[in-house]
Amino acid sequence: MEKIHPPWPWLITLLYLLFMLILPILSLLMTAGRMVFTDFWHIATEPIALSAYGVTLSMAFLASLLNTCFGFLLAWVLVRYRFPGKKVLDMAVDLPFALPTSVAGLTLATVYTNQSWVGQMAEKFGIQIMFSRLGILIAMIFVSFPFVVRTLQPVLREINVELEEAAWCLGASSKDTFQRVLFPSLLPAILVGATLSFSRAIGEYGSIVIVSSNIPLKDLIAPVLIFQNLEQYEYERATVIGTVILFLSLFLLFGVNFFQSWNRHLEE
């Protein structure tokens, strides 16, 4: 006879998802749904909001692009090489996960301020790091860097070294082996890590509010704009901008699921 499992694990899971995930999202969507579409569109496409979207998306894209390149190199080094301090470096990758974002912002402000040697050196070349879009980029890179490394490491470990050795025995160079043997297997994981890094950078608030000047039409990002509207009791504006960011995050989530399904299909 087929064993009947008790329903309580499913009930606990559904209740947890209902109160922790589904109800907050539905509440936001229902609040936005009460508005007339013309009013919603007017608020969502205001110059300040469009500028905030542009700064957020452009800086998040650059952060995910840089994290993908350097995260791949770091993941490759951690998996393929042995060297003193490897475990310490591996643990340090997870530091942005454990560090509060406000502390991260304070740390970055201390390192890159004009009073530090890094800030003074950049200032000699006419580069302003703090209170600019460059500071936003650095903060986004810091908080979203681990996603690429942690996504690629398990895939690199599972790659059979014998495939590379077989390619070398057949006369393939190291470059051809990477392009034709390794890269196709790594591409889905690279895309997943880049998408996760991008989505994490979009939602960053705690560190950016410290390193940015938060001036509208200059370097104001969408999460900070939402908080500013809440401080001014502009709940409708905050709801509209939050809904736009929510739909963007859902789109990225579907993209991650697509890449993961593609990766499983390739493995099969």
Domains of the chain: 36-267 (1.10.3720.10)
Note the pLDDT tens digit of each residue in 32-46: 888 888 889 999 999
Could you tell me the CA-to-CA distances from 5 to 1, 8, 18, 113, 184 in Å, in that order? 12, 9, 22, 59, 41
Q: Are the beta carbons of 208 and 140 closer than 8 angstroms?
A: yes
| Average pLDDT rounded to a whole number, residues 47-61 | 94
Q: How confident is the model at residue 186 (pLDDT cuts 50, 70, 90)?
A: confident
49-51-53-54 Cα dihedral, nearest 10 degrees: 170
Could you tell me the CA-to-CA distances from 119 to 29, 130, 131, 136, 257 in Å, in that order? 43, 8, 12, 15, 40
Residue 241 has pLDDT above 80, yes or no: yes
Q: How confident is the model at residue 267 (pLDDT cuts 50, 70, 90)?
A: low
Residue 231 has pLDDT above 60, yes or no: yes
pLDDT given for residue 151 in this prediction = 92
| Average pLDDT rounded to a whole number, residues 56-77 | 94
| Average pLDDT rounded to a whole number, residues 48-72 | 95
Note the pLDDT tens digit of each residue in 100-111: 888 999 999 999
Residue 2 has pLDDT above 80, yes or no: no
What's the rounded Cα separation, in Å, for the pair 42 and 194?
32
Residue 4 has pLDDT above 70, yes or no: no
Could you tell me the CA-to-CA distances from 101 to 71, 105, 134, 142 in Å, in that order? 20, 6, 17, 10
If you count them, how many residues does the chain have? 268
pLDDT given for residue 268 in this prediction = 60
Q: Which of 151-160, 176-185, 253-262 has the highest mean pLDDT?
A: 151-160
* Residue 90 C-alpha from the chain's centroid: 19
